[in-house]
Amino acid sequence: MSDKAFSSLPLRPELIENLRSLDYTSTTPIQAQSLPLVLAGRDVIAQAKTGSGKTAAFGLGLLNRLDVKLFRVQSLVLCPTRELADQVAVEIRRLARAIHNIKVLTLCGGTAFGPQLGSLEHGAHIIVGTPGRVEEHLRKGSLKAKHISSFVLDEADRMLDMGFEETLNKIVDWLPAKRQTLLFSATYPDAIESMAKRVLRDPAMVKVDSSH
Ligand code: ADP
Ligand code: MG
């Protein structure tokens, strides 16, 4: 499938305008394949190599659904490491520049717990974090899952490699059943397939070959 102009997609005008100012002139191949499904509300499994633009593929999806007036956590993005979570948060904030008062918060291990409690009390729309710390906040009640309607597993293959499967299962148990779930990965080993069966509902599958 060839790349598309972002303006041909059912994105909010302010997001399209901002993409123009970021010099994102057209979609990357994985964005062209996955965004129409993501924007239609489907659960999606997307596989493409590193550097192919996967962050915007899910980031635009959750930003397009977000109700900024509802100051509750509506999206949860899980990443394998703090460095990756920080990168994803930076990219989502760039994509969200045109949405006023939007709050993207990172919750990662290896950083002090106390300040995260204060930040959560101030509120956020989007959480980007690592599984262990996110599970801890859900368990302790400092992160409320009730309004989470988009859930993203980014670099799912690496999260499973790092032994996060059980923690991911616990996190999923906290989430509302009615939600959109997106799984992004560079590879698609069997372990992901069995997790996907538990976590996603009737997922669409898209893949961009690494030769492209
Ligand atoms: P991945 O998660 O697949 O490894 P990233 O989401 O980190 O890839 O994107 C890689 C780089 O490509 C980032 O610097 C990002 O800003 C840039 N990028 C993503 N989508 C586009 C686009 N449509 N046009 C131009 N640059 C893009
Ligand atoms: Mg990525």
Q: What is the pLDDT of residues 71-83, one digit of tens each?
A: 999 999 999 999 9
CA of 31 to the centre of ligand 1 (A): 10
- pTM higher than the cut 0.95: yes
Question: Cα angle at 189 between 47 and 82, to 5 degrees?
Answer: 70
Percent of the chain having pLDDT more than 90? 96
Neighbours of 210 (CB within 10 A): 12
Is residue 148 predicted with pLDDT exceeding 90? Answer: yes
Is residue 170 predicted with pLDDT exceeding 50? Answer: yes
- Residue with token string 């509902």: 201
Pair of tokens at residue 97: 């520049």
The distance of Cα 79 from the centroid of its chain, to the nearest Å, equals 9
Q: What are the residues facing 128 on neighbouring strands?
A: 77, 106
Residue range 88-113: average pLDDT? 97
Cβ atoms of 157 and 187 within 8 Å: the answer is yes
Q: Tell me: the pLDDT tens digits for 18-45?
A: 999 999 989 999 999 999 999 999 999 9
In a mutational test of the pocket of ligand 1, which residue from 52, 79, 152, 158 has the highest number of ligand atoms less than 8 Å from its CB? Answer: 52
- Cα distance between residue 96 and residue 59, in whole Å: 9
- Residue with token string 């996955």: 34
Confidence of residue 210 (pLDDT cuts 50, 70, 90): confident
Q: How is residue 7 annotated by DSSP? A: G
Pair of tokens at residue 138: 């859900």
Question: What is the domain partition of the chain in residue ranges?
Answer: 6-207
CA of 139 to the centre of ligand 1 (A): 33
What is the predicted pLDDT for the residue at 212? 46
Residue range 203-210: average pLDDT? 92
Closest residue by Cα to atom 24, ligand 1, is 24
Q: Which fold has domain 6-207?
A: Rossmann fold (3.40.50)
The residues lining ligand 1, judged by C-beta closer than 6 Å to any ligand atom, are 24, 27-28, 31, 48, 50-56, 91
- Cα distance between residue 165 and residue 41, in whole Å: 25
Long-range CB contact pairs, 190-198, < 8 A, 24+: 191/160, 191/165, 192/156, 192/157, 192/160, 195/156, 195/160, 195/165, 195/168, 196/45, 198/169, 198/172
Closest residue by Cα to atom 15, ligand 1, is 53
> Of 92, 145, 101, whose CA–CA distance to 122 is shortest?
101
